[in-house]
Structure 1
Amino acid sequence: MMRFLSFIIFLSGISYAQIGAVKKIDSLLSLSANYEFKDGLQSLKYAKQASILAESINDNELLFGTYLQMADCLYTLDMFDKSLEYIKNIEKKNILNNPIKRARLKEVKSNNFEALGLDELNLKELNEILEILSSNETNDAREIKARVYAYLSNYYEVKGDFKKADEYINKTLKLNKEILKPKPIDTFIAKAYICLALKKTDSAFYFINKSFDSQKVKGKYSFKYTLYMVLADYYYYKENYPLALINYQKTLNDMASFNIKDTECSMMVKEKIYKIYGKLNDRRNEQKYLNEFKNELSTYNHENNKGLQKAVNLILDEKDNEKKVIKKKNKIIFFLIGGLSTLAIAYLYLRNRKIYKRKRDVLVEKEKLIKKNRELEGQKKELNKKAYQNQFNELISLAKNNNPEFLILFEEMYPIFTANLKQLNPHVRNSELFFCALAFMNFSTKEISNYTFVSVAAVQLRKHRIRKKYNIPSHEDFNTWMKSVEQMQLM
């Protein structure tokens, strides 16, 4: 009896501990969801703690939830390669035992593919979600379908098929009336952008107002940066640049106040801001926001390139798993059929052809991904080249106009030359630095005379004095020597 009672107490202790762990996991996942857009790293920490607990009690249901939340957090942080790794872990553990789970996993996967620019894979995942949930009319299924229709709307909007984009966003608007937890703000914003694309400005403004009205229900402690951005884009479309600038700045401020990491949004806003300042002939602010945009784009492309390789591996692993399943089925069929060897051989032949076709498809998909990666690198180089050319043209223009801002931009573009010249002469004045900079840029004596409004003789005299000061040999070309300053190895 004592042994029996001890056993019962032991089992009760295990059960109580598991119940406590389940409650703790649910609490951590709830915290992770709440922090996902406020503090991405904190959200990830909570999700990681939950996954460790789920692994300790070996509960497949909880493992799925925690791994999926980890993948979602990493996607939000623009760490697409890590997000795809967790998706891979879920698939390896084979814990996708119901349609809702399969659909949710594919949703996060499609989000990663969309961010990586893998359009065909993104579209494939979205269509498979709708197929999985085609006969499922539960509230969870409707919520997922509402989001998928919105994703499809965005897909066709990017492709320029605004009519089809409008059809899908209307499906989301319809489902929002039927589900328990709709996202009206996001849907109204998406609808507003489509209306702008279709040149229905009155309709766009109507849905922008509806999004702000829905935001009031949420209260003042929730972020509004997506609302400010669509309103700014509306004014940009209407060419009301002052109001557009105000709302773009509100977008960035709101993201900063809520510590939101949305790289794509930040890049798009800064791109629009520098373009507006360009239209307003405000070169200083134009250059400032252009530099910020380029820096963020460079970081973003770097993360994308890492994620592309993970996507390739993920696809290849999926195909390998399919081949293993097929081989296993072939063995079972072979032993069951026994004497029907002819049928078995035919079956295996067809299966092997299918495997070969899938393998070939994988190689084709891999080549597409590699090509996409090269295109991204090419676009990055082209953007850097154009940005440098724009800066150089601006520098030439400032020099020709004898503009004092020339020296600021010159030092930014050629910091090594400036530093080396100051090391050769720590007391060099700005006027002398300006003169040397013109020579560095290979302006002729006559051009320097024209742009600085002095005589040719005065320019030649100044060159003579600088030659003496820096010990420039008389036989060496003055401009060539100035170019060599940038290559000097000084202590």
Structure 2
Amino acid sequence: MKYFKYLFQFLFTIGIFFSSVMLFPQNIKHKEYDSILLNKPREMGNNNIPVEKIILWNKKMLEKVKKEDYKKGIIWVYTSLADEYLDVGKSDEAVKYLNTAKKLSDKYSTDNFTVGSIYQVYSRMYYELNLNDIALKHNSKAIYYGKNIENSYEKKKFLQYAYAIRGTLYYNVENKDSAIIYIKKANQIDESPGILSTIANHYLDYSPNQDSARKYLNKAVQVIKKNGKKIDSHQISVTYYYYGIYFMREKDYANAVLYLEKSLLYNKTENNKDLLQDIYKNLALCYKGLGDKNKENESLENLIRITDTISGLNTKTAEISIKNIEEEKIEEKKTLKKTILIYSSIVSSLSLVLFIYLYYQNKRKKKLILESKEIISQKESETLKLKSRIVDAHEEIMQLAKTNDIGFLAKFQEVYPNVSQKLLEINPALTKDNLIFCALIWLGFSSKDIAEFTFMQHRSVQIKKGRLRKKLNLGSDVDLYQYIKSLVNN
């Protein structure tokens, strides 16, 4: 599983170098920084300059971009510093710089590329802490922002390393099918020795297929030969290492030694001790297979030396962690009394504020209840008066109808305006006589009552009903009384 750590490391290097192109497109002076920020770190990395010196260079650049108040430049340098501190195992410093970059990015609403790059370094940080699920979530966010980059070329370059890193993370959570899908998606965008050799290793360890492994390793070597110094030594070292493993599986120990020695040559500064440890371990196995006892012992001695160095680094890291914990405990004891006092004061103050608040809220609540009761009582009184007026008005309308008073229709429309309005919407050609007849029906008077009030024959009333049906487009199966009453309920 740790083989994929090699890919993860140089992918972040590629990604963060590339991001400098995107972060500085504003003006001529800023474009001058573009070239420096893009080329200098890559040059230092290819020349195996120690990470500590690259960190110092970034800090000097930070002073310059701050002086120019170059917001995106500041964000990029903070992100780059976080990435470099992760290289030297200083997660606390990395978190500090990365969080600052994120806050500035949120404040100044930076572009999709910038935000995506920040999430990608967060992904690496959680990977280093072996929190692969959280690393995958941050990588997902990076891919989301990467897909929204407007420039198609920049989008492809960003997504290439984002996909490759996602593939690496999937290997770590033992999801090899998803892993190879994303590694190949990255390779489709642009072939690099690191990605090609990782695909080869997939066919060596996860889906054994020596022919496929050899095909991708050959492609990786061709890319190295074609691009020469443009390829960093770490990628070359990893590619030759995997080629050595390929020949070991073939039992061709002579060629395996040849490629492992090449890998060792490109890792000569011992800047990647995990890879160096694996090289010496497999060299010892190859020399054992070749029967070269001296070389076997020499490789084992180097393996022990590197292993001791790694153990020493781990011990040092543990000592630093213990020291930090002890210092934190001492500081906690010093501040405990102050903290208790502060919190006691806060609790007392909050209690007093809460008491005052509840007191006035209770007082206000009682006042509101009294006011509500008065309003309800007033509304009830108004409702009773309104009901009384409606009853009186209805009685007046009924009396006007019974006496066939000339003012019947006007009073009916005043009290029940919607009835005539609805009827005229159905047929605007309805006459005043039609509306009076409809009003009498709506009030519930029978044909006999209508005939009596209007001094007509009962048959005449029935004829008027028939004519009204036609004007309202009603069939014989529709009850006229129910229909008119349904237009507006009382």
Query: Normalising by the residue count of structure 1, what TM-score does the alignment of the two structures yield?
Result: 0.52
**Contact between 2:193 and 2:224, CA under 8 Å: does it hold in 1?**
yes
Q: Could you give the per-residue CA deviations for residues 57-109 of structure 1, whole angstroms, max 9, x where no partner exists?
A: 32211101222222233334444443333212212434552221111011122
Give runs of aligned pairs for residues 20-59 of structure 1, distance below 5 A. 23=32, 26-38=35-47, 39-41=49-51, 42-59=53-70
**Aligned-pair CA distance for 1:196:** 1.4
Q: Is 2:145 the counterpart of 1:128?
A: no
**Contact between 2:122 and 2:138, CA under 8 Å: does it hold in 1?**
yes
Partner of 2:121: 108
Q: Is 2:102 the counterpart of 1:88?
A: no
**Contact between 2:204 and 2:246, CA under 8 Å: does it hold in 1?**
yes
Partner of 2:279: 269
**Aligned-pair CA distance for 1:188:** 1.1
d(CA) in 1 for partners of 2:320, 2:139: 19
SS in 2 for 1:36: helix
Partner of 1:252: 264
Structure 2 stretches lacking a partner, 5+ long = 1-26, 326-360, 362-490
Taking a change above 3 Å as real, the CA distance of residues 287 and 217 of structure 1, as seen in their structure-2 partners, is closer
d(CA) in 2 for partners of 1:104, 1:96: 14
SS in 2 for 1:199: coil
d(CA) in 2 for partners of 1:278, 1:116: 36
**Identity of counterpart residues, as a percentage?**
15
Q: Is 2:168 the counterpart of 1:142?
A: no
Taking a change above 3 Å as real, the CA distance of residues 53 and 35 of structure 1, as seen in their structure-2 partners, is same
AA aligned opposite 2:166: L
Moved more, 60-69 or 217-226: 217-226
Give runs of aligned pairs for residues 127-206 of structure 1, distance below 5 A. 127-136=140-149, 138-174=152-188, 176=189, 182-197=190-205, 198-206=207-215
**Contact between 2:244 and 2:259, CA under 8 Å: does it hold in 1?**
yes
Taking a change above 3 Å as real, the CA distance of residues 200 and 254 of structure 1, as seen in their structure-2 partners, is same
**Contact between 2:280 and 2:300, CA under 8 Å: does it hold in 1?**
no
Taking a change above 3 Å as real, the CA distance of residues 241 and 297 of structure 1, as seen in their structure-2 partners, is farther
**Larger RCO, structure (CA 8 Å, separation 6 or more):** 1
Moved more, 199-208 or 70-79: 70-79
Partner of 1:436: none
CA radius of gyration, larger in:
2
Q: Could you give the per-residue CA deviations for residues 102-136 of structure 1, whole angstroms, max 9, x where no partner exists?
A: 11011122223223322122112112222333444
Taking a change above 3 Å as real, the CA distance of residues 95 and 30 of structure 1, as seen in their structure-2 partners, is farther
AA aligned opposite 1:67: Y
Q: Is 2:132 the counterpart of 1:119?
A: yes
d(CA) in 2 for partners of 1:308, 1:117: 17
Moved more, 37-46 or 50-59: 37-46
**Aligned-pair CA distance for 1:193:** 0.9
**Contact between 2:163 and 2:183, CA under 8 Å: does it hold in 1?**
yes
**Aligned-pair CA distance for 1:19:** 6.7
Residues matched between the structures, number: 286
After superposition, the CA RMSD in angstroms is 3.3
Taking a change above 3 Å as real, the CA distance of residues 152 and 24 of structure 1, as seen in their structure-2 partners, is closer
Query: Normalising by the residue count of structure 2, what TM-score does the alignment of the two structures yield?
Result: 0.52
Taking a change above 3 Å as real, the CA distance of residues 199 and 46 of structure 1, as seen in their structure-2 partners, is same
d(CA) in 1 for partners of 2:92, 2:285: 32
Give runs of aligned pairs for residues 25-424 of structure 1, distance below 5 A. 26-38=35-47, 39-41=49-51, 42-93=53-104, 94-95=107-108, 97-136=110-149, 138-174=152-188, 176=189, 182-197=190-205, 198-219=207-228, 222=231, 223=233, 224-256=236-268, 259=269, 261-276=271-286, 282=293, 284-285=297-298, 287-302=300-315
Give runs of aligned pairs for residues 443-462 of structure 1, distance below 5 A. none
Structure 1 stretches lacking a partner, 5+ long = 1-17, 177-181, 313-340, 342-491
Taking a change above 3 Å as real, the CA distance of residues 305 and 133 of structure 1, as seen in their structure-2 partners, is farther
Taking a change above 3 Å as real, the CA distance of residues 228 and 141 of structure 1, as seen in their structure-2 partners, is same
d(CA) in 2 for partners of 1:307, 1:87: 21
SS in 1 for 2:267: helix
SS in 1 for 2:251: coil
SS in 1 for 2:298: helix
d(CA) in 2 for partners of 1:91, 1:146: 22
